[in-house]
Structure 1
Amino acid sequence: MPVFLPPISSSRHPVLRALLLGALLVQACGRPDAGTSDEADAEGEIRARAAVTVGREQTDTVTDVLHLTGLTAYPAKDVLRATTTGYLVAPVPVPGQRVGTGQTVFTLQTKESRTLHLDQITGDPKLRFSGLIRIPSPRGGVMATVDKLAGDYVQDGEQLGTVYDQSRFGFVLDVPVTQLRYVRPGQRCRITLPDGRVLAGQVAEPLPAADVSVQTQRYTIRPVGTVPPLPENLTVTVDLDKTAPQVASTLPRSAVLADETQTSFWVMRLLNDSTAVKVPVQTGPEQDGRVVIRSPQFSPQDRIVLTGNYGLDDTAAVQLSR
């Protein structure tokens, strides 16, 4: 702002005139240099550019997959129970032991037999009752549980152990009622074990009941091919194809951004080497880390920001990473 001095005689007020001239010099020296400010703004703009990497849309063969959770199960199992009151006689099976159809698994001795030692009397051929009661397995399988030890006193009807029929091993799958149209008997599926192994399976029959609390219907799944020994109630992932394989345009998952509610999606497309703009997209299913882009249709020359796009505004200044 210019300062106007009143006419002052130099001979009458030399000191006052010197002070005013000094103030003008200080004001002139304190004004910022316009050229320096512009250079600083330009450097700040360069520092504000986001380093990004770019890629292009590609065409893949994808399938819309339904991911559900299943459990291992042994639907055919037999509970072996005591048929009388008495004592368990050695040997007693151990968990994991295989038994055959009709094989004696447990042997009971009645109280009277133990008191009279009838099992040791062999001289009288008319005495055919030894007091030993044999409990066989109705089918071949493996001992899943053994609840009693040799010498234990058991009551009539008390559970002694459980035999699982491994030939009837399978999986149970709880399907939400909203997804029932995608599951049908005879449909092929993929079963992923917790250690990453993948087994082939086939949807069997549905069970005629639904869970009231969570509204799901249970299906049984039979494995196809060789199955490793697995315990019951092991959680697995079951994948079923909702649609047939189809050709679609895809982008890496990192290229697609979304809002907090996961209802709006967009990507950042380069206008030139230093500017990226926000483009809303309609997404489809995701497979192997790539997301199907239903619309819009990008051209092969369009460059999409793959990394460094998080938090960018529309028409953002970017810098390509080499």
Structure 2
Amino acid sequence: MTNRALLPFSALLLLAACNPAAPAEETAADETAVRPRAVVTVERVQTDTLTDVLELRAVSAYPAKDVLRATTTGYLLAPVPVPGQLVRAGQTVFTLQTKEARTLHLDQLTGDPRLRFSGIIRIASPRAGVLAIVDKLAGDYVQDGEQLALVYDQTRFGFVLDVPVTQLRYVRTGQSCRITLPDGRVLPGRVAEVLPAADLATQVQRYTVRLIGPAPQLPENIAVTVQLDKTAPYRAATLPRPAVLTNETQTEFWVMRLLNDSTAVRVPVQTGLEQQGRIEIKRPVFSPQDRILVSGNYGLDDTAAVQIEQRGRE
């Protein structure tokens, strides 16, 4: 076969080799043109009142306790009180019969006014309170000095607050605070006294915290949260927490701000306090017209193409 005969055949092979690439390039270009934009929602910066808060742990306590003890050896007579019973100051709580009186049956002797000792000893509460612990039952034999019950003075109910020594500058006696109970109730309180010793191992200083107003019926050793204001309330610009993005080490923070209805750019920010799901934006200063992405913003590059989800107020 001559060279002239091979020329048309070679041209056909060249066209066949080039033509398959052309449809692939056209398909890639079409996919780029129809690639969907990120659907996002936006909000504007708002001004809120913020307060830097110190949050610490505390436990409920009855610092004033009275131990009721047997004043002699003998037997407890009925009725014997039960835990939770309220007692008045000077009220007889336990009645004790000496073992000599029981042996001689002095309680059955009558008619002789000179016989003034009946062998019955009454043990009263020195102050009003509630019986937290009752250790004995009616008929029990007790020794002189043995504990019978424990009386809590409810008027001295409060909380023991542990303050790290690094935070002592934020706590002072007379300072108002908020006490959050495990069931969610928030009660007003006040720092009452500072205890004159710090724990060597944990390096904490202990304070007592009292409730302002009536105290609920709470047992001892209930863990609560105490919030104290470190700063006075101030006004600051805030954004919802999802609007602020960060890197893995949380050393850089940024938001995505709309340039127009279809383009978002990355703006580095300096954050401050976080309260109730909103973060303070210290820098830069955004205008009330700036629109910040709050959803659909994760993973977007700088100068990203976006599509705003239509909402009523946007």
* Fold agreement, TM-score > 0.5: yes
Show CA shifts across 1:19-41 (max 9, x none): x7885675455334132321023
Residue matched to 1:315: 303
Residue matched to 2:30: 39
Q: Does structure 1 residue 30 correspond to structure 2 residue 45? A: no
Residue matched to 1:107: 95
- Structure 1 residues 9, 314: closer, same or farther in 2, change over 3 A? closer
- Structure 1 residues 317, 83: closer, same or farther in 2, change over 3 A? farther
Following the alignment from structure 2 to structure 1, what is the Cα–Cα distance between the partners of residues 2 and 294?
A: 68
Gaps in structure 1 of 5+ consecutive residues: 11-16
Of 301, 306, 314, which aligns to 2:289? 301
Show CA shifts across 1:88-137 (max 9, x none): 21111111111111111112222222222222222433332222222110
One-letter identity of the residue aligned with 1:309: N
Following the alignment from structure 1 to structure 2, what is the Cα–Cα distance between the partners of residues 112 and 242?
A: 65
Show CA shifts across 1:11-60 (max 9, x none): xxxxxx98x788567545533413232102333x32xx332211111112
Following the alignment from structure 1 to structure 2, what is the Cα–Cα distance between the partners of residues 116 and 260?
A: 85
Q: Does structure 1 residue 215 correspond to structure 2 residue 178? A: no
Percent same amino acid among aligned pairs? Answer: 70
Q: CA deviation at 1:259?
A: 3.3
Residue matched to 1:7: 3
- Structure 1 residues 21, 308: closer, same or farther in 2, change over 3 A? closer
Q: Give SS of 2:299's match.
A: coil
Of 240, 255, 265, which aligns to 1:252? 240
Following the alignment from structure 1 to structure 2, what is the Cα–Cα distance between the partners of residues 162 and 87?
A: 19
Q: Give SS of 2:155's match.
A: helix
Q: Which runs of 4+ in 1 moved over 4 A?
A: 20-26
Following the alignment from structure 1 to structure 2, what is the Cα–Cα distance between the partners of residues 257 and 158?
A: 65
Show CA shifts across 1:133-191 (max 9, x none): 22110101111111111122222222211111111112221111111111111111112
Q: Give SS of 2:269's match.
A: strand
Of 48, 51, 54, which aligns to 1:63? 51
Task: Please tell me whether Structure 1 or Structure 2 has the larger radius of gyration of its CA atoms.
Answer: 1
Q: Does structure 1 residue 129 correspond to structure 2 residue 117? A: yes
- Structure 1 residues 27, 264: closer, same or farther in 2, change over 3 A? closer
Q: Give SS of 2:75's match.
A: strand
Residue matched to 2:256: 268
Show CA shifts across 1:201-224 (max 9, x none): 111121111122221111111211
Q: Give SS of 2:3's match.
A: coil
Residue matched to 2:190: 202
Q: CA deviation at 1:78?
A: 0.7
Q: Give SS of 1:167's match.
A: helix
Native 8 Å contact 1:102 1:137 kept in 2: yes
RMSD: 2.5
Following the alignment from structure 1 to structure 2, what is the Cα–Cα distance between the partners of residues 133 and 26?
A: 120
Native 8 Å contact 1:199 1:227 kept in 2: no
Q: Give SS of 1:35's match.
A: helix
Following the alignment from structure 1 to structure 2, what is the Cα–Cα distance between the partners of residues 180 and 263?
A: 28
Residue matched to 2:218: 230
